[in-house]
Structure 1
Amino acid sequence: MEEIMHELRQIRREIDEQKIAIDRNGEKVTEKVTQNINCILEDKFKILNENYEHIREKCENQEKRLYFLEKQARKNNIVFFGIKEMETSYSNLESLIVNFIKEHFSQELDRRDIQEVRRIGKKGERPRPIIVTFCTLGTKINLFKNRSALKNTGYYITEDFPQNILEKRKELQEQARIERVKGNVVRIKYDKLIINEKKKTTGNNKRMLSTSPENKTTKGAETNTQANKKNKSQTQTRRTSSLSEGILKPGMLNYLINRNTNNSADPQQINNANI
């Protein structure tokens, strides 16, 4: 009986060990499967991310192209405000714009100079703005340069901007007002704020002019200093040579010179000299 119990205990122990081994193997298998799944998912996410970046770059390029095309399409446009709606047809509207330009800008234009003209917005109490597309950019520039002719007339003109640019310009107006309070010259060019800082007052220039004699004196002093330095260096050089020569007395110096001359002279030259 005891042997049977011993065998049963041993069998149970083996079963427990096998169970533990199976659990460990199951954990390893689960870990490997999880790693494989994670690797597959990472590869797929990497591909998706690359595709997303590619699509995002394409969209950005398309937006830039659309922005450029819209800007180019509007560059010959001028928006006229305040002109009453008296036209009954497209031809009347063209004639209205041609006569308006002739009256207020003193420029003779023909219908052939206008590519398109149309009103925008919904009808209301106020007259709707008119967008005029000119055939040439030069015509648009000449008219826009003379926009001051509409001062105190109740009419005014602006450039034709896309909606997002109009919103951007509205945001820049507040910043432009702050810069003008500081005294800076500010202008908004398309969607950018250009700031010219306030120049220095004439008082600073006067101070600069008042100090100019001192500058001249300083320059003269610097010139004299440089000349003195040059003379000083030359004097020092001369002084050095005079000191080296003054070590020997004049009588002994002449003696040594005559001695060296006599020793170095050729006997034949001496005989020729004596003859």
Structure 2
Amino acid sequence: MKEEMQQQTAVINENMAITMDKKLKPLVEETASLKKEVHVLKSKIYFLEKDARKNNLILHGVPETETHFSELLAIVTSVLDNVSDKANLNTWDKWEISNAYRIGKKTENKIRPICVTLTLQWRRNELLRNKKYLPENIYVTEDYPKEVLLVRKELKNKLKEELEKGKEGYIAYDRLIIKEKNEKRKRSPTESPNTPNTETRILKNKPKLNKTNSFFRAGSSENNKTQI
């Protein structure tokens, strides 16, 4: 009876396992499909957000004295023109600034940064290249999502470690690019950039042939005939 009970129990367990597998298989496949879709959607959101921020810049340290948008726009334009004057660039027009607003809630004893959206990407890049001309206590950064800011914070520590090892590197958006330092090849003391090679010297020192013009040859032959 014990053996029969064990056999029956084994059969029941096997049947239950088969039944559960049949019921769970569609759920497992659906879950895997949903995970792929979520991954694709996250990638799309990532690139859409990156594209939406590509013309944005964040100005930090600009005194918060404005009361409405037109005053804020005038302040931002003044800061950008200050950079253009010092860097000998074109002054900024209002149409080159699509939007400008303070980030976060207004609090006492704290200056909120300004998110500036520019209409021309090359103007944005131009400002980043000349950010050293910004007024004192004012600086500019690129507009990154929170997730990217966290990643960049971690990458900065790794970059510091790599630089201490004597390597070269930089952070490109949310990636760390590291490369070995290229050692300058020492020129051999016997080599000189101004010394021509043997073949060149031979060609240069080769005596020139005195080629006589066919016109003069013809003339000389006529003279010879006349003399005869």
Other-structure match for 2:95: 112
Identity %: 31
Matched, 1:172 2:155: yes
Q: Deviation string for 1:112-140 (max 9, x for gaps)?
A: 22121111123242311100011222221
2:186 is the alignment partner of 1:205 = yes
Do residues 79 (structure 1) and 62 (structure 2) align? no
Deviation readout 1:200-251 (Å, 9 max, x if unpaired): 24xx514xx1487xxxxxxxxxxxxxxxxxxxxxxxxxxxxxxxxxxxxxxx
Structure 1: 5+ residue runs without aligned partners? 1-19, 213-275
Deviations 1:78-108 (A, max 9, x none): 0001100010101111111111111223342
Question: Match for residue 42 of structure 2?
Answer: 63
Of residues 96, 101, 111 in structure 2, which corresponds to 1:127? 111
1:60 to partner: Cα distance: 0.7
Deviation at 1:187, TM superposition (A): 1.4
Displacement, 1:48?
1.5
Q: Normalising by the residue count of structure 2, what TM-score does the alignment of the two structures yield?
A: 0.74
Determine which structure has more spread, i.e. the larger CA radius of gyration. Answer: 1
Q: What is residue 222 of structure 1 aligned with on the other side?
A: none
Quote the offset at 1:174 in angstroms.
1.2
**Structure 2 residue identity aligned to 1:53:** A
**Alpha-carbon distance in structure 1 between the residues aligned to 2:108 and 2:155:** 29
Matched, 1:157 2:140: yes
Q: Is the 8 A contact 2:57 2:116 kept in 1?
A: yes
Segments of 5+ residues of structure 2 without an aligned counterpart are: 192-228
- Residues 28-58 of structure 1 show CA distances to partners (whole Å, capped at 9, x for unaligned) of 4443332221101012222211111111111
In the superposition, relative to structure 1, how do residues 126 and 24 fare at CA in structure 2: closer, same or farther (>3 Å)? closer
Contact 2:167 2:178 in 1 (8 A): yes
Aligned partner letter, 1:112? W
Deviations 1:232-275 (A, max 9, x none): xxxxxxxxxxxxxxxxxxxxxxxxxxxxxxxxxxxxxxxxxxxx
- Separation in 1 of the partners of 2:8 and 2:156? 66
Q: Distance in 1 between matches of 2:84 and 2:174?
A: 27
Structure 1 length normalisation: TM-score?
Answer: 0.62
Aligned Cα root-mean-square deviation (Å): 2.2
Which of structures 1 and 2 has the larger relative contact order (alpha carbons within 8 angstroms, sep 6+)?
2
Aligned length in residues? 187
> Which residue does the alignment assign to 2:12?
33
Contact kept, 8 Å, 2:57 with 2:115, in 1: the verdict is yes
Identify the residue that residue 226 of structure 2 maps to in structure 1: none
Q: Which moved more, 1:133-142 or 1:106-115?
A: 106-115
